Structure 1
């Protein structure tokens, strides 16, 4: 090998460590050989074959970063064998003593193998890393991101605190670099960007040039007071009074915007990530009524405008992997489903077809959501689509943190074929605030998804909150002025879902070591146990008090929409509530009926739900008493994490006491037994005390926030609502509810 250049890169860290790099070249092979370590013989030699591309380079940088300052001696090689039999994204690790070789089936596989090694260095398991082959359990593992592009082109979440705060971040490459790197580290490989009508903010349409929007706007208007004026169906999201108080947060021409999104997609490609745009229909935000464009399905100009916009979106973004569409939520058509599908084909279908005539070699995926439509009308209308065509199903409605095996898909699964497989929308409208981490729940959830003959992939994310930078935490900005990402706060849950969907055989011990490496001052086993126990609380209560969509249930605040549903759930609501369909859990009404009829009870009863909540809460609080003396004061993230666990424990105690109060209220209603009323009162008083504890901890870490589906979530202010249960019980008249 001929030495063409010898580049010395040296820096001395706090421990006096010197790092040097030597780069060698030949005509057909480039290797980066990096030496870094102590003055002793311990060193890491890393060779990265150019076949690994940008993904491999990223993995090599991660290995170098993790190995810096470590007293280890190992030789690592990253390469790709593109003609090997391995599945896409797969890799194998070969070990011979202190020599490790990663061979990827493609660039992404090589990156994942390299990231395995970087992680092993970080958590101290490099010596025990064995030769093994790895391939993805689920091929497409995605993030659902409702993207707040601009006041004028909103997503469904934009009438909320987190959305308005994050509008500038969507136009920052610094944000996307951080976000996409996190995705790659956690093995996510699909990014879906959801908007009601993104096109004026992302593309120029020659036939409709005035529609393209320069600059980036948000509103400074108060959104809290007029919250109930917003529809939950997506109409009326941009109101005149919002535009009157616009703030220009970034000066960008439409050409600069296009350059920005091309850069985002290119960067995602360098991390093995596909990007998709998803829309709801029919919305025309940002067009401002120009050219006669309206939301009407029978408007010929609107049809033409959409077709041309889709064409230009495909042509403008060569890295765009596909588009996802919804036949709703503003698509009333006199011909029902067939009429809606005809409109979607005439716009999206024809627009994509127009683009692919100019790019016939391009593979462009269309994902049609099974939302407000049926599978057969979809397949009939889209039979000639010129590319991969798949559907998508809302797997757990709005609550991924409930059942480990949601049953809703069973009604459509027999119709799903290997030709048109389904994606799963895995909605998280449960956990906006807390650090969640129960690998057993995630592993079982993932293993219960349909097999690869029916499953194309999944994407997970919220509709009521933005997974951007963290504007919820009180302590989200570091000493250098950097505001953390939501991903930074909830890193453990993202890691669990991404890693386990790639490889669900990863054991609990692996994740325990991850926590231990992150927080080495405390006992890792106890920290992991506290994470698991606290993380069981919200799934347990959501299975019992089921509210299917995000408008109906936000468990961190015991809230639903104040006008369209129940607002803050009262003890009466819990007494009358329904459990999650398909779960082995009885509501209070069902349980009392089975008791009355002397039926054999095989499902979890309301008292057992309360006991389970109490058990997990008590276990969490006990573990915290053991962990906190070890924690010290220097690991700020650890202290915040422990407080999150404690908050969830008090929330669990609140829900347990509330359920017990509802049980006794049901008895008092049926029997007029004054003892039951007194007991219900005592439970309600206990619930209030638990809520106050919860509110104090929550308020110490998080600010009140406006959520687009349930209104303002101000936990301390909701204490007054929690107190109303006592008066409800005190003034209850037996027989008010007829069982």
Structure 2
């Protein structure tokens, strides 16, 4: 019998010990978990001791209630870090805080499963690479975007059983921050004292909401997860406008983007909401604001002054200090924001994080920072010189793949290595246009589907980001083991390699094809809506689009520039369209070959393999279309008939056209047409774009 000694009073240790208990049983042994006092009274020898200790203090000793060993934590262990140490047959998990102890026990459980024996688990000190490891979660009510993909999520997100699973996933994967985003969060949380009619709910309804939020914040805290409520700027509730500002502009023009609309009453109302929210929810860690929306006509100084007068002042008036997330303003003048934070943070906030969108809305483009929201000129003023009153946090927005599973650990590792400067506190991962709750894209009656929620389908995506943000040195063997365990088959190494090969496609497309905001790229749909949002026909990236669009990443040569260089007899410096096409083809072949060598497996494994196959054919489609676009571009400039025939060859079957038809067949085996923010009321499917695949062929046949 393995005796595990831990603190009964710690919810985080309880959570992790339950996982460890299962791992010990998987190793073929039995275990009991007891608290310190019970253990001390029992006289039993402890096999595993979990302890939170201060530097220089001794951990609990083991063996017949006598002090056999004095075990002190390594001085290198930091908050959220841990040490695994073995002393006279007892394995210690030592940490300086409860979160570190939880992560240490989870690590021990995982390593035990990998090694099969406790004694084979190596002694080690591991610290968190980033102190801020966050999920961005947009709420479906008072949402920034309006679409069925949000409305469909309301009931699921209101269900605390969903949150229990989501928070468990976060804790296991070492995330420690959950950020909630919507336009005006206060409506469902408080009844403002001086503006009671701004809350539209009855007292009974508001109590239900209060129970929901109070429970959710407590559940997160029990798992070591900080919570932040983040709103946009000059927004008020519909009830506020109805009862306190009847002359306010209509809902249609009061949407998220536009000029400012603020009065002294609105500032007072929002300021009091900030204070009251902090006071009424003691387990809420912090608040934040997205500086820029509804402020188009304001100068940087006016925008920051509004935040100072409303948010910072509201925080000052609260009964406790909280942490604050300050989105970097879209109109760049770092000195204004820096001065404001430096002047206000100590008095108003316990800690300040400055959030910066990495490569605007499409972080899956390059591991290098090439663009931020609104453009990058001057943005480095936020971290040069290095800040002392706040830390930079990168927003890794995913607006490029919502349906197909994605896994590419090397991209994440490179990203962290490239952007982990001393002033960087951490990362957020998440989306503006997708909520990972109800899975409405998968066929509900399919034998593939053995998960309840979308994040469970995408479990590997969350595992990769969370584990690597905590410890970039995590071996791929950990992820391979997780795949083996999930599918009850030794296919993890091949499956992860297949994912890694084909899932480079979104980064390749975003590197070659320039973008800005959310809808300007959607890689898995081969879409770019630009300003013509919700236009089905304009959204597909056509042959002409590829020939005209400049590249985003300067390391990549656009079709237009490559053509000009070829005609001028100039060597193209960088990754050319034809070189990229070759890489895409090699990646697709590697992924398909790995799939061919795997057993058919369970229905869920078939589902994962289908996603990998779909990515492989997206690689092949992109490659063939690049070859066609390059050849046709040269033909249009010099009339070279050989180039025309090459273009015609690659745009038709058995190349591009056949590849897209294969994508349709694969995806229709387990997905259904579903809402997509980028298309408005039009439901997304890959079949939707078959006519536009044919239009490319017509474009060349008619020599347009």
**Residue 700 (structure 1) aligned with residue 669 (structure 2):** yes
Of the three residues 156, 161, 166, the one matched with 2:144 is: 156
**Secondary structure at 1:111 match in 2:** helix
**Residue 603 (structure 1) aligned with residue 603 (structure 2):** no
- The CA deviation at 1:449 is 1.3
Q: In structure 2, what is the equivalent of residue 204 of structure 1?
A: 191
Q: Contact between 2:274 and 2:315, CA under 8 Å: does it hold in 1?
A: yes
- The CA deviation at 1:463 is 1.0
**Secondary structure at 2:92 match in 1:** strand
Change (3 A) 1:624 1:478: closer
Q: In structure 2, what is the equivalent of residue 579 of structure 1?
A: 551
Q: How does 1:716-731 map to 2 (within 5 A)?
A: 716-731=687-702
Q: How does 1:212-291 map to 2 (within 5 A)?
A: 212-214=199-201, 253-287=205-239, 288-291=241-244
Q: In structure 2, what is the equivalent of residue 487 of structure 1?
A: 455
Q: Contact between 1:155 and 1:196, CA under 8 Å: does it hold in 2?
A: yes
Q: How does 1:86-97 map to 2 (within 5 A)?
A: 86-96=77-87
CA distance in 2, matches of 1:292, 1:713: 40
CA distance in 1, matches of 2:650, 2:447: 42
Q: In structure 2, what is the equivalent of residue 81 of structure 1?
A: 53
**Residue 324 (structure 1) aligned with residue 295 (structure 2):** no
Q: In structure 2, what is the equivalent of residue 224 of structure 1?
A: none
Q: In structure 2, what is the equivalent of residue 512 of structure 1?
A: 480
Deviates more, 1:569-578 or 1:597-606: 597-606
Q: Contact between 2:156 and 2:162, CA under 8 Å: does it hold in 1?
A: yes
TM-score, length of structure 1 as denominator length:
0.82
**Residue 625 (structure 1) aligned with residue 596 (structure 2):** yes
Q: In structure 1, what is the equivalent of residue 132 of structure 2?
A: 140
**Residue 639 (structure 1) aligned with residue 598 (structure 2):** no
Change (3 A) 1:473 1:571: same
**Residue 348 (structure 1) aligned with residue 311 (structure 2):** yes
**Residue 48 (structure 1) aligned with residue 6 (structure 2):** yes
Of the three residues 309, 320, 344, the one matched with 1:384 is: 344
- The CA deviation at 1:83 is 4.1
- The CA deviation at 1:212 is 1.5
CA distance in 2, matches of 1:272, 1:667: 58
Q: In structure 2, what is the equivalent of residue 222 of structure 1?
A: none
Of the three residues 511, 526, 534, the one matched with 1:543 is: 511
**Secondary structure at 1:430 match in 2:** coil
CA distance in 2, matches of 1:571, 1:669: 13
CA distance in 1, matches of 2:445, 2:81: 36
Q: In structure 1, what is the equivalent of residue 257 of structure 2?
A: none
Deviations 1:46-74 (CA, angstroms, capped at 9, x unpaired):
221346x1101100111123333541378
Of the three residues 408, 417, 429, the one matched with 1:438 is: 408
Change (3 A) 1:497 1:72: same
Of the three residues 19, 23, 30, the one matched with 1:66 is: 23
Q: In structure 2, what is the equivalent of residue 292 of structure 1?
A: 245
**Residue 315 (structure 1) aligned with residue 279 (structure 2):** yes
Q: In structure 2, what is the equivalent of residue 3 of structure 1?
A: none
Change (3 A) 1:259 1:378: same
Q: Contact between 1:144 and 1:459, CA under 8 Å: does it hold in 2?
A: yes
**Secondary structure at 2:675 match in 1:** strand
Change (3 A) 1:415 1:707: farther
- The CA deviation at 1:200 is 0.8
* Length, aligned pairs only: 638
CA distance in 2, matches of 1:482, 1:620: 24
Deviations 1:80-137 (CA, angstroms, capped at 9, x unpaired):
1144643210110112576321111110000001111222244445443111001101
Change (3 A) 1:586 1:308: same
Q: Contact between 2:399 and 2:519, CA under 8 Å: does it hold in 1?
A: no
CA distance in 2, matches of 1:564, 1:380: 39
CA distance in 2, matches of 1:122, 1:476: 34
Q: In structure 2, what is the equivalent of residue 130 of structure 1?
A: 122
**Secondary structure at 2:524 match in 1:** coil
Q: Contact between 1:325 and 1:369, CA under 8 Å: does it hold in 2?
A: no
Q: How does 1:8-27 map to 2 (within 5 A)?
A: none
TM-score, length of structure 2 as denominator length:
0.86
CA distance in 2, matches of 1:134, 1:126: 20
CA distance in 1, matches of 2:616, 2:386: 41
Q: In structure 2, what is the equivalent of residue 101 of structure 1?
A: 92
- The CA deviation at 1:380 is 3.3
Change (3 A) 1:580 1:508: same
Q: In structure 1, what is the equivalent of residue 635 of structure 2?
A: 668
CA distance in 2, matches of 1:365, 1:324: 5
**Residue 190 (structure 1) aligned with residue 150 (structure 2):** no
CA distance in 1, matches of 2:698, 2:266: 55
Q: In structure 2, what is the equivalent of residue 567 of structure 1?
A: 539
Deviations 1:230-282 (CA, angstroms, capped at 9, x unpaired):
xxxxxxxxxxxxxxxxxxxxx96112211211111111111111001112222
Q: Contact between 1:157 and 1:466, CA under 8 Å: does it hold in 2?
A: no
CA distance in 1, matches of 2:274, 2:355: 20
**Secondary structure at 2:581 match in 1:** helix
